[in-house]
Structure 1
Amino acid sequence: MARIPKLKYDRGTLILHPPPKGKEWIDFASWDDRVEKFRIPAIDYRPLVETLQATGIDFIDEAKEFIPLELTPSFEREPYPHQKEALQAWKQAGRKGVVVLPTAAGKTYLAQLAMQATPRTTLILVPTLDLMHQWYAQIKAAFPDVEVGLLGGGSRDRTPILIATYNSAAIHSEALGDRYALLIFDECHHLPTDFFRRIAEDAIAPYRLGLTATPDRTDGTHRELDALIGPVVYRKTPEELSGGALAEHKIVQIKVKLSQKERERYEKALKIRNDFLRQSNISLGSLNGWQLFVQASAGSNAGRRAMLAHREAKEIAAGTDAKLRVLIELICEHYPESILIFTNDNATVYRISQEFLIPAITYQTPVKERHEILTRFRERDYKTLVTSHVLNEGVDVPDARIAIILSGTGSTREYVQRLGRVLRKGSDRNKLAVLYEVITEDTSDERTSQRRRGTEDNPNQPRQLSLVYSQSSNSADPLETSKAAESPVQWKQEDSKDNLTLDF
């Protein structure tokens, strides 16, 4: 009598032995001479099982270690329409896919709803320790009767609901791969790297939810999220949610001019850089132009001078004194509102902090000091806070109404994250958030702004209020404009809300 095939999990892969009859399943498998058995990638667990079931092949599933959970939330609130729509879209896609929502749009509560609709052992992945502890507090409060654990920062729990950093989960991916039926990837744009992708590839989890405000990556690897998690199943922009789940907001672009001395230094630095680029036949506008520039700059004294000149030009454009004058006026105009100030470099953060006596947070700020600053900002002891990149994501920033971008990268993700810092309604249901973007006219600063706002191809696209502020003229007032079991089959469960089924 023929033996029934068994499906087993083995260190990030599946072994199916003895080989079943039929040919449909063979597309998932490759022969392993070392064990003389067929081996299948763990990520293919769900399509493999569905194929075996569809073709009527009997097998014993010994791969899964995940189990059902009793998830009774301690609190429930009426979801926003976009949360209901996103959850339904994810369910209709087979509980696999990415949801794109702006910062402050309630992605954590959406994840809670997904867990309630898919009550199975769950692994939640986050990029930072700060986010890990924030998720722990919220999930523990939501499901107090279920054991919630941590993986990362010295913790190595083994619990039905586990919250882990990407780094720690990647290290232990082979040990985690068979334990969880639902994977939730917060800030899932971090996943498509050679190291972190192992989390998804080594897991048999049939259900996967990706959450992000900005899925796209400059290296193009965001396309791999389709295979690692699932396709984008729902997307909303800050503009679409403004006035509903998010605060009404406006974006005010303020342009400043370089002084004559700054302009002379800027043009001189650009000439040094551009002469070298021409001689080296390098175009920074090409696909790999920047990489070629970096390589060439390391090979000669002229190259090093060109790179230093490039950096000097950017620093002049980003840190012109005219921006600081505008900053003074904006702070005075909006006092005592809570104000967040963003720059692209730590040197400018510390300069502003020292000259204006404003608390600063950078990656160098100790954890306890950062916690103290954020607490006092939340309690409004501090009215203003200046930072570089450390508050872009992974930190629960208290409510603020005003954000000022003095400088930044060309990253759309960074821009959306910074805007999201003032979009949370908080207790003010009629809140109007304002994002000021201070740009140096006729410099690389303008092109950087166009890239991050997605208007590079059409810089005249009307997406924000705009004005020009010159340090040599008082005719333009920025403040006036600013006012303006045994087998998967036995686990099938009806979802009473929409009659979708859980097959695993």
Structure 2
Amino acid sequence: MSIPQLRLDQGTLVMKEVPSCVADLFQWDARSQSYRARGMSYRAIVEGLRNEKVAFQDKAADFLKLELGFAREIEPYPHQRQALAAWKRAGRCGVVEVPTGGGKTFIAQLALRDTPRSALICVPTIDLLTQWYSGLVAAFPDANIGMLGGGSKDETPILISTYDSAAIHAETLAGRYGLLICDEVHHLPSDFTRVIAETSLAPYRLGLSATLKRSDGRERDLDQLIGPVVFSVAPGDLAGNTLAAYKDVVIKVRLSPKEQQRYDDLIHQRNDFLRLNGIRLGTIDGWKQFIMSSGTPQGRAAMLAHREAKSLAYGTEGKLRVLEEILANHPDARTLIFVNDNATVYRISREFLIPAITYQTSAKERVAILDRFRSGEYQYLVSGQVLNEGVDVPEASVAVVLSGTATEREHIQRLGRILRRAEGKQAVLYEVITEGTTEERVSQQRRGQWQPRRELELEDLNAPD
């Protein structure tokens, strides 16, 4: 009797004959006249066959054992040691949730040191791609480390890739890497990028994030794609020790009587349309329905009302006066200013003479602006959502969030921009919200403080754009 073979074909595992002990992991493919299983089932299949002492030929995996000299002499913080130990106890599969500034990349370096196998590291942005590359080259100076994305297409035992590039080349990468590390792992469950984990044979998987929550609830899929959360620590648990001590200050401003009347009229107009059409904005499906309905004259009018109300809440004159006062109260502090819309970014840039970064800013210009901010040539920087992830600015100690208070993930990401520890540093996060609007409700809801107040606020103003 021939020994069964396990092969890899186009991101799926293939066997002509399947032993009964792993039969439930395979499905019959009539087209190829063989049994197929997802790449991510590799570990379960191999362990099942070995536990039953079933002989087989592994023609699927092409992992490499690496000789890694670790050059970092830094003593891990207690939470980093605990995270690494928890991941190992979980079979080297699972998610570690550590706030920005808490040393997630160092935890990953320790995991790679202790699991010296060919490794694929996925990151969401080009900025993070280059940061990870620099960090890994410093930690493992003798290793062959490459990049995929941003113009690079290396084939190396340790490969750092953007999620988009790894998804495009998922079938090619599937059998090469025994360790899969996903930074900002909440990006992984999307329709386009989840193929990275589904096709990968990697028996060892590590996910890293400051906060896992997604608006569509798909963070639950990470249990299968990477593994369960094995370690979690909150920013407050590390403040004053691993991270800078910080204060979180909420400042409420009011719309002018004229602005408030206009806001109320707009919300009533929008909500009347939503009720008539049975649409609720509290879910992704509800927002999709709203977008689809905006093709009608009534729907378009409701959408325009929604957007104008949002602009009023986000860009009220009162917020700019508060911003001016905050900057005056911190004359020497390196300060980041976050808003949700580019129009307000550019308005603040013009009126306060502050450099701005948006998605429209070229890569070279972005690097130049951040370098000048780090060096102290620029004291202030205003941005939209592009600085939520992947920016290492230890010198920043004040953040002002003028809009965009809806999600816990966004809040923690922005807080993390100012939490990197420095001698004598006291970080402050100001959250400036408009009273009497749903911006106030979503802020309170995130903090667990919200109580229903009035019928006008039943719908979520901060639906995704």
1:198 aligned partner:
195
For 1:168 and 1:283, locate their aligned partners in 2 and report how far apart those are by CA, in whole Å.
36
- Cα offset, 1:440, TM superposition: 1.1
For 1:376 and 1:24, locate their aligned partners in 2 and report how far apart those are by CA, in whole Å.
61
Q: How does 1:119-158 map to 2 (within 5 A)?
A: 119-158=116-155
- Cα offset, 1:180, TM superposition: 0.5
Q: Is 1:13 paired with 2:7?
A: no
Letter in 1 for 2:432: V
Q: Is 1:342 paired with 2:338?
A: yes
Specify whether residues 284 and 175 from structure 1 end up closer, same or farther in structure 2 by C-alpha distance, changes over 3 A only.
closer
For 2:286 and 2:110, locate their aligned partners in 1 and report how far apart those are by CA, in whole Å.
45
Letter in 1 for 2:363: V
- Cα offset, 1:195, TM superposition: 1.6
For 1:106 and 1:351, locate their aligned partners in 2 and report how far apart those are by CA, in whole Å.
35
Letter in 2 for 1:449: S
Q: Is 1:365 paired with 2:380?
A: no
Letter in 2 for 1:15: V
1:254 aligned partner:
251
Does the 8 Å contact 2:391/2:417 carry over to 1?
A: no
1:41 aligned partner:
38
Unaligned runs of 5+ in 1: 460-504
Query: In structure 1, the residue corresponding to 2:404 is in which secondary structure?
Result: coil
Query: In structure 2, the residue corresponding to 1:397 is in which secondary structure?
Result: coil
RMSD: 1.7
Match of 2:303 among 303, 307, 313: 307
Q: Which has the larger radius of gyration?
A: 1
Match of 2:317 among 316, 321, 324: 321
Does the 8 Å contact 1:344/1:409 carry over to 2?
A: no
Q: How does 1:102-501 map to 2 (within 5 A)?
A: 102-285=99-282, 288-299=285-296, 301-425=297-421, 427-428=422-423, 430-456=424-450
**How many residue pairs get matched?**
453
Query: In structure 1, the residue corresponding to 2:329 is in which secondary structure?
Result: helix
- Cα offset, 1:274, TM superposition: 2.8
Specify whether residues 380 and 332 from structure 1 end up closer, same or farther in structure 2 by C-alpha distance, changes over 3 A only.
same
- Cα offset, 1:296, TM superposition: 2.8
Query: In structure 2, the residue corresponding to 1:390 is in which secondary structure?
Result: helix
Specify whether residues 64 and 290 from structure 1 end up closer, same or farther in structure 2 by C-alpha distance, changes over 3 A only.
closer
1:333-359: CA deviations, max 9, x gaps?
Answer: 101110111111111010010001011
- Cα offset, 1:108, TM superposition: 0.4
Query: In structure 1, the residue corresponding to 2:391 is in which secondary structure?
Result: coil
Query: In structure 1, the residue corresponding to 2:65 is in which secondary structure?
Result: coil
- Cα offset, 1:396, TM superposition: 2.8
> What's the TM-score, normalizing by structure 1?
0.87
- Identity in percent: 57
For 2:73 and 2:364, locate their aligned partners in 1 and report how far apart those are by CA, in whole Å.
32
For 1:454 and 1:132, locate their aligned partners in 2 and report how far apart those are by CA, in whole Å.
35
Match of 1:76 among 73, 88, 96: 73
- Cα offset, 1:285, TM superposition: 4.7
- Cα offset, 1:29, TM superposition: 1.6
For 1:236 and 1:222, locate their aligned partners in 2 and report how far apart those are by CA, in whole Å.
17
Does the 8 Å contact 1:17/1:37 carry over to 2?
A: yes
Does the 8 Å contact 2:393/2:420 carry over to 1?
A: no
Does the 8 Å contact 1:399/1:421 carry over to 2?
A: no
Between 63-72 and 269-278, report the one with greater CA deviation: 269-278
Does the 8 Å contact 1:314/1:444 carry over to 2?
A: no
Specify whether residues 181 and 284 from structure 1 end up closer, same or farther in structure 2 by C-alpha distance, changes over 3 A only.
closer
Specify whether residues 283 and 229 from structure 1 end up closer, same or farther in structure 2 by C-alpha distance, changes over 3 A only.
closer
Between 279-288 and 213-222, report the one with greater CA deviation: 279-288
Does the 8 Å contact 1:391/1:397 carry over to 2?
A: no
Letter in 2 for 1:27: D
For 1:10 and 1:275, locate their aligned partners in 2 and report how far apart those are by CA, in whole Å.
54
2:23 aligned partner:
26
> What's the TM-score, normalizing by structure 2?
0.94
- Cα offset, 1:409, TM superposition: 4.6
Between 98-107 and 444-453, report the one with greater CA deviation: 444-453
Between 303-312 and 232-241, report the one with greater CA deviation: 303-312
Letter in 2 for 1:258: L
Specify whether residues 283 and 5 from structure 1 end up closer, same or farther in structure 2 by C-alpha distance, changes over 3 A only.
closer
Between 95-104 and 212-221, report the one with greater CA deviation: 212-221
